[in-house]
């Protein structure tokens, strides 16, 4: 690829609790290369987050065969989990980064920009965690994004924790046994309450999220507890949608690994208002970098 004097290289980064994904694009937003590295949520450590960001950028440049481009040439838009907390935002903006420019925002904002191709809109994200977000006329609104275990209602970790709590009560004989609890025990190969406590003690949101699918399966098979849980979660997302629609976003999308399971349980009017996401978060990070760059120039 020929390098022109005034060419700008935009790199988009989507950093989350399990991985960090970077893409580098051409002037006309064609993806030239991508790189995936390790965890990048500063809640779990600033150093590893910084290392993952740099590693993903290097891998993206390598993948694009942009041998003449250095990290210091890149205009970076980074959406990083956890930086909705002011303390963590400050830690990362204080970082002496190796890039030309480093525009930092939340993973949620870039997901929203991606879903609506850089235009105004709203998203509801249900994966390991959960949150709602709208971006309309440069004003943002956040619902949730509270973290595990104190928040993230209707997320994978929320369903999983509730299911494990239920399985423990069952193993103690407090409540009747159910297929759902035996599926949980099968999945992590345990047979007693003590083993389940050992397996779950001190575990993170990601561990609990692995059980969310079991809850939805059980709900689809009319398990009473699972039905109650899925309906409670769906009710929360219905209310989240209504709060977000108060800002009149032109579009609203659902994102995250749990969304395909959850959408059929939402109220009909909420399902009707959903539009499919147009682009992934890392493209949203590119839009973010370009918007910030045009303001700066």
Burial state string for 135-165 with b = 16 or more CB within 10 A and e = fewer than 16: bbeeeeeebbbbbbeeebbbbbbbbbbbbbe
The backbone torsions φ and ψ at residue 293, rounded to the nearest 5 degrees and listed phi first, read -65, -40
- The DSSP symbol for 19 reads -
d(C-alpha 235, C-alpha 266), whole Å: 7
Beta-ladder partners of 130: 126
Asked if residue 197 binds a copy of itself (CB under 8 A), the reply is yes
> From the CB of 106, what's the least distance to a copy of itself, in Å?
12
Site map (CB under 8 A) of a copy of itself, residues 30-49, x = contact: -------------x------
How many of the chain's residues bind a copy of itself (CB under 8 A)?
35
Helices (H), ranges, 41-81: 46-63
Binders of a copy of itself among residues 63 to 122 (CB under 8 A) are 84-87
**For a copy of itself, which stretch binds (CB under 8 A), given 3-11, 96-104, 170-178, 255-263?**
170-178
Residue 173 beta carbon to a copy of itself: minimum distance, rounded to whole angstroms = 6
Measured from the CB atom, is 80 or 161 closer to a copy of itself? 161
Whether cis (ω within 30° of 0) applies to the bond prior to 172 is no
Footprint (CB under 8 A) of a copy of itself, residues 227-246: 236, 239-240, 243
- Residues of this chain that interact with a copy of itself (CB under 8 A) are 43, 84-87, 143-147, 149-151, 153, 161, 164-165, 168-169, 172-174, 193-194, 196-198, 200-203, 236, 239-240, 243
């Amino acid at each position: 690829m020929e390098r022109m004097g005034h060419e700008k290289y935009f790199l988009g980064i989507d950093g989350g609790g399990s991985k960090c994904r970077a893409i580098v694009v051409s002037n006309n937003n064609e993806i030239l290369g991508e790189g995936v590295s390790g965890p990048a949520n500063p809640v779990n450590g600033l150093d590893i987050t910084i290392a993952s960001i740099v590693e993903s950028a290097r891998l993206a440049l390598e993948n694009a065969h942009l041998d003449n481009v250095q990290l210091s040439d890149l205009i970076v838009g980074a959406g990083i989990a956890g930086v909705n907390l002011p303390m963590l935002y400050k830690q990362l903006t204080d970082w002496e980064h190796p890039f030309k420019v480093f525009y930092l925002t939340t993973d949620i904002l870039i997901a929203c920009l991606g879903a609506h191709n850089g235009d105004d809109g709203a998203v509801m994200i249900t994966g390991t965690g959960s949150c709602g977000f709208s971006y309309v006329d440069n004003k943002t609104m956040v619902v949730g994004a509270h973290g595990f275990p104190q928040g993230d209602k209707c997320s994978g970790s929320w369903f999983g924790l509730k299911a494990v709590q239920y399985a423990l009560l069952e193993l103690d004989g407090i409540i009747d046994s159910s297929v759902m609890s035996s599926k949980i025990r099968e999945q992590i190969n345990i047979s007693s309450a003590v083993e389940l406590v050992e397996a779950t003690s001190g575990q993170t949101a990601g561990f609990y999220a692995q059980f969310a699918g079991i809850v939805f399966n059980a709900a689809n098979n009319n398990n009473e507890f699972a039905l109650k849980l899925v309906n409670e979660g769906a009710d929360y997302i219905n209310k989240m949608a209504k709060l977000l629609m108060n800002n009149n976003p032109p579009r609203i999308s659902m994102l995250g690994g749990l969304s395909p399971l959850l959408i059929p349980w939402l109220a009909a009017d909420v399902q009707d208002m959903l539009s499919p996401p147009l682009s992934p978060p890392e493209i949203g990070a590119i839009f973010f970098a370009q918007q910030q760059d045009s303001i700066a120039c």
